[in-house]
């Protein structure tokens, strides 16, 4: 049986809409007749309110992430941290084909004049060229010889078989040398055009302290192969730094308490090595910091319905206009920062102390903003939340019953003009 029922709740929904117009919720985006608008608005607002806890939680999690990013970006700009960019250095050589350099963080800012009279050399022996496929001039048996290097003696043995060729003997001798564990490497160099092979022995390290000799102990393998013939003598590097003479077993030398490394490549006169602040690293760190700062400021400003407005004010207070403007960093009306790259680059190159003061000094931007950022992401997640908008539950009774189910009679009454009929199935 179908019976008519008068819609008698639209007036309640109309009052609800009037109430909602004066509440703290967003503007309803639709327009229609008053009763239709009232019912639709009741449903729309109810859904909006139900979404707020989830939206608030997402906002707080994102705030935490932006705050952590700002704190991390602030660390390289604080003098108190071990990885601060103000300690980073570059080392530039005027003659990189003769000397190169690397500077460690904290190296003294200075220019060094380098003269190189000789670079260090590793000893190399070049054996006698023997016909590769000819029968070896060594009798079958066991051969032993000593290799002396760096004050230590290595005893090396290998065997020769009847019918072995020179190439076979040289290969066996080289393999035995390499297996001895001495700081000398051996290989067989073969000239396929000439049909000859010879031993090539090279010290693993440069300098006279790594010179080596070979002596026959049992048999005459060293004499037969010419393995003890020096082709390149071991030598030490000779150089001066700012006029002071030095020698070194190695072509890698260290200055400034190991914070500056020089690599000697070739003789040179009057080369310079300049140690300077790493301006590129400083510039990059500042740009990264400003980007992270702006992200946090912008996000906070865009979510004030969920975040305490005092948070935005405290973040903006980190900006100290006078110091930052002098290095090319100014503030927009919305609190975000803008960088004049030309002014910043000039300050980094010519007034690094001003850069350090602006970011890492008393009330420096990196110090204050970094501290505030750390307070945000280490605090309880809700510490900076705004209370959610409160809408009276009674206002929703025309649309939902006490069990949270949709009151269809109320909904239909709101959708129909006054006095209209609608049918329901009994």
Q: Is 202 found in the same domain as 297?
A: no
Q: Is 379 found in the same domain as 339?
A: yes
Q: Is 413 found in the same domain as 271?
A: no
Q: Is 226 found in the same domain as 136?
A: yes
pLDDT of 48:
63
Listed as ranges, residues in the chain with pLDDT below 70 are 1-51, 322, 389-426
Q: Is 283 found in the same domain as 226?
A: no
pLDDT of 259:
97
pLDDT of 53:
76
* Residue 418 included in any domain: yes
**Alpha carbons 83 and 74: distance in angstroms, whole number:** 11
Count of domains forming the chain: 3
Portion of the chain with pLDDT greater than 70, in percent: 78
* Residue 119 included in any domain: no
pLDDT of 318:
80
* Residue 32 included in any domain: yes
Q: How many angstroms separate the Cα of 22 from the Cα of each of 25, 27, 309?
A: 9, 10, 22
Q: How many angstroms separate the Cα of 365 from the Cα of each of 25, 211, 279, 356?
A: 37, 59, 19, 10
pLDDT of 18:
41
Q: How many angstroms separate the Cα of 342 from the Cα of each of 76, 319, 326, 345, 346?
A: 21, 20, 12, 5, 6
**Alpha carbons 147 and 212: distance in angstroms, whole number:** 7
Range of the domain at 407: 1-88+278-426
CA atoms within 13 A on the CB side of 240: 11
* Residue 159 included in any domain: yes
Q: Is 256 found in the same domain as 171?
A: no
Please answer whether residues 155 and 146 qualify as being in contact, where contact means their C-beta atoms are separated by less than 8 angstroms. Answer: yes
**Alpha carbons 149 and 143: distance in angstroms, whole number:** 20
Report the CATH number that the domain containing residue 192 is assigned in CATH.
2.60.40
* Residue 227 included in any domain: yes
Q: Which of 251, 132, 262 is nearest to 189 (CA)?
A: 132
Q: Is 418 found in the same domain as 306?
A: yes
* pTM greater than the 0.85 cutoff: no
- The first and second tokens of residue 317, run together, are 């207070």
End-to-end CA distance of the chain: 6
């Amino acid at each position: 049986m179908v019976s008519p029922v008068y819609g008698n709740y639209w007036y309640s929904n109309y009052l609800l809409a009037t109430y909602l117009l004066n509440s703290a919720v967003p503007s309803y985006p639709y327009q229609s007749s008053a009763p239709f608008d009232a019912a639709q608005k009741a449903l729309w607002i109810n859904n909006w309110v139900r979404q707020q806890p989830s939206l608030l939680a997402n906002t707080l999690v994102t705030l935490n992430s932006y705050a952590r990013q700002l704190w991390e970006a602030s660390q390289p700009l604080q003098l108190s941290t071990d990885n601060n960019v103000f300690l980073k250095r570059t080392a530039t050589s005027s003659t990189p084909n003769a000397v190169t350099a690397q500077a460690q963080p904290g190296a003294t800012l200075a220019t060094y004049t380098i003269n190189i009279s000789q670079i260090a050399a590793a000893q190399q022996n070049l054996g006698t060229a023997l016909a590769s496929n000819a029968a070896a001039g060594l009798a079958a048996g066991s051969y032993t010889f000593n290799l002396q290097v760096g004050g230590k003696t290595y005893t090396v043995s290998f065997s020769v078989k009847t019918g072995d060729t020179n190439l076979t003997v040289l290969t066996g001798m080289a393999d035995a040398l390499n297996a001895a564990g001495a700081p000398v490497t051996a290989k067989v160099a073969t000239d396929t055009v000439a049909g000859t092979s010879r031993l090539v022995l090279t010290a693993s390290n440069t300098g006279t302290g790594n010179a080596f000799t070979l002596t026959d102990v049992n048999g005459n393998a060293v004499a037969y192969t010419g393995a003890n013939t020096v082709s390149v003598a071991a030598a030490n590097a000779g150089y001066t730094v700012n006029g002071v003479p030095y020698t070194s077993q190695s072509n890698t030398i260290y200055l400034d308490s190991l914070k500056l490394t020089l690599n000697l490549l070739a003789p040179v006169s009057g080369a310079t090595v300049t140690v300077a602040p790493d301006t590129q690293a400083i510039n990059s760190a500042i740009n990264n910091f400003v980007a992270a700062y702006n992200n946090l400021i912008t996000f906070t400003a865009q979510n004030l319905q969920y975040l305490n407005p005092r948070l935005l004010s405290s973040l903006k207070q980190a900006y100290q206009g006078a110091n930052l403007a002098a290095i090319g960093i100014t503030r927009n009306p919305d609190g975000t920062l803008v960088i004049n790259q030309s002014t910043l680059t000039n300050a980094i190159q010519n007034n690094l102390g001003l850069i350090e003061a602006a970011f890492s000094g008393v009330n420096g931007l990196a110090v204050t903003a970094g501290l505030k950022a750390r307070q945000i992401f280490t605090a309880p997640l809700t510490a900076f939340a705004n209370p959610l908008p409160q809408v009276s539950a009674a206002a929703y009774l025309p649309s939902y019953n006490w069990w949270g189910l949709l009151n269809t009679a109320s909904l239909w009454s709101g959708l129909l003009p006054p006095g209209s009929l609608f049918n329901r199935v009994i």
